[in-house]
Amino acid sequence: MKKISLRKMTSKIKKRTTPASNHSETTRRKVLVADDDRALLELTSDFLRSAGFQVHSVTDPRLVLQEVLAWHPHLVILDLEMPGLDGLEVLQLIRTHPQTRSIPVIVVSVVAEDAWRSKLLETAQAVFSKPLSYADLLDSVKKMAVKKGEVAEGHEKSPVGVRDFFNLDPMWAESHALSNA
């Protein structure tokens, strides 16, 4: 398997998925990304920044609610399997706090069982399986990361949908062995 640097992978993703248009529709929208995998956290954060979003990253799940309260993001992207607190517990904290309960949350996970997905979709607006399809993630983020006073497309009633765990993103075959170079 060919190893590819994180920087090179980010560049390839940007070229394939970032529209050449102006990012004015997303410029002031804030997305908090929480993942204990630093390589994926950096890749996802860089990708969203290149699409015009303000991005704040958190690796410690115990700090997610604190960061959401302090930074007031328009959307949270949350990894499910993290040490300390798992993503489901963090999601419940976000949903039960009066200041954060209406913030859309996208859950990212390697968990493939339908029971878990169903449970997650009771409180999250979307669930994506790893490896991520960054084009699909960007579409969902654009729909859900809304400014105050706007209504998220499908936010209150229906999730964006669950991605097929076995439908691998074409980029993944080339990039799943990321190096830190």
* pLDDT reading at 59 higher than 60: yes
Instruction: Give the total number of structural domains in the chain.
Output: 1
Supply the pLDDT for residue 19. Answer: 46
CA 40 to chain centre: 10
Q: Range of 175's domain?
A: 4-16+25-179
Average pLDDT over residues 44-56: 96
CA dihedral 44, 50, 54, 55 (to 10 degrees): 20
Average per-residue pLDDT for the chain? 75
Does 159 or 29 have the greater pLDDT score? 29
On the question of pLDDT at 148 being above 80, the answer is no
| More confident site: 29 or 152 | 29
Q: Identify whether 159 is preceded by a cis peptide bond (ω within 30 of 0).
A: no
What pLDDT sits at residue 94?
96
Q: Give me the phi and psi of 127, to 5 degrees please.
A: -130, 125
CATH number at residue 77: 3.40.50.2300
Averaged pLDDT for residues 114-120: 78
